[in-house]
Structure 1
Amino acid sequence: MHKDATRGRTEVSDHDQLLVIVDPVARRSDGESVRIAKDVLSAGAETKICLPDSPEEFSRALARRGSRRPVLLGDDRALLRTVALLHRERELAEGGLSLVPIGAPDALELAHALGVPRSTPAAARTVLEGTVRRLDLLVDDSDGVVLGDLRIPGGPAPKPASAAPTVWGTCRSLVRTLVRPAPTALAVRTHRLRVEADGVLLADVDTPLEGLTVRSAGGSATVVVHPAAAPPRYATARTLTVSGPDFRYRADGRVTGPVRRRTWTSRANAWGLTLPRD
């Protein structure tokens, strides 16, 4: 790879050596896509294929990559695990990471939001022909990383209901409506949180909040606070601290907590991901 200083990105060289790490979940869930990705990558570069069977083997394979460029075949969880491992080893700033997304659609939302192509052949070709772009992330005070969106509080993701339960649910709702009047509005759950952005107080525990959302971009965290009975408040900051009664948060689709205090710091251009050329 070589750096294009005028465009702030790293061009992928045709002579790169690749370490292709196939996540076990990808092998079990979609072996055909794994085969296609391996064929495309092997036809375009010198590749070493690793098939770890456990998180420990995954970590060892990544640690022993040497000068080879790591290429991950897997879903969002595998991507997050890889970035977290490289961050903990303080090797995230070195080179770039490539991803061929393989998994269920709802397990690939982060990868697609970051700009990785949806189809397996296109993603594999991007590994060979794309550019490494530097991206921001959030690092918390427990050494965790957030690549995309952060939402507080966090709850379990809603699951789509099957057709039959939906029908029965509709019937029950209709019966309840006939028996008694429907409520005029749904109750909104509020939370008591103290929110500080670069030391500036955005909300305190005496102000009920519906929640807040955070995303790192342009070297800063963009924070949107949602008071229960007031317009949203916006701020940009390098550090964000949230404290108060036990709360959960959703980061990159995963729920963490409960915690009573957490601080996130935005880091600009902290990691590299191979994406299609403009």
Structure 2
Amino acid sequence: MFQPHGISPQLHWTCQRLLAAGLPCQVPEESPLWLPADWEGYLAENCWLDLATDNSQALAGRAEHCRQHGIQLVEVCGSWLPQGESMGFMLLCGSNALPAPAAMQWLDHCAPLPGAWLHCGPCGSARYTHHVMQALQHAWQLGWQHNPTTAKPQQLDWEALMQQQWQLADKLLQLSQAYLRSHGMAPDPTDSATLRQRFAQPPSRQQHFAANLALLIVLAMQQRDTLHDIWQQVSAALQPKQTSNVD
């Protein structure tokens, strides 16, 4: 039995998807005393599927509360759109151990296909990964907005475009560094080859996908000053030269 708690629209969409698959999904008449009334997610056998969209600090508090009551918290992040009710949702999850069987059943039926979801690592990893994906999507949207396909290269404001990319890179760097600090990890520039090999593995085979992603971003961003200098040189070389009039 999957018991939804909360008022988020994704609870309705996912519940309808579970019911369509023949799985029991019903709002309970009474919630367990240990379960706060303002939580957003699903109560299932031996686990709580947390669908809240707040910050990692609040998530950590809920995870500790669940631990004290012998319940596994499984963090779930997704692109919540109404179309997911029929097509399935892109789902990322995080938990300090492998998700409980009931949680895996929920994920399998709410994703587009069984197994088409990603375990990113411990609690908080799904949030970090989702933030990175949103940042990259925002960068693509900015690119299309300011650089329509009909524009000629000479008409583009390359300097402004690159400046936007540098700002995004700085935010991704800060986000990734904060995630690594929260897990007591730091990148090793001398071992970048090993990191690249780990990240080249299929995401589902990586033990801590979010950490590998954060490490790769930090190592890559350490080269941004060099890349910026190269861009400045290229930009200067492409500037039209002023010709002096000779009498």
The TM-score normalised by the length of structure 2 is 0.37
* Structure having the larger proportion of residues in strand: 1
The TM-score normalised by the length of structure 1 is 0.34
* Structure having the larger proportion of residues in helix: 2
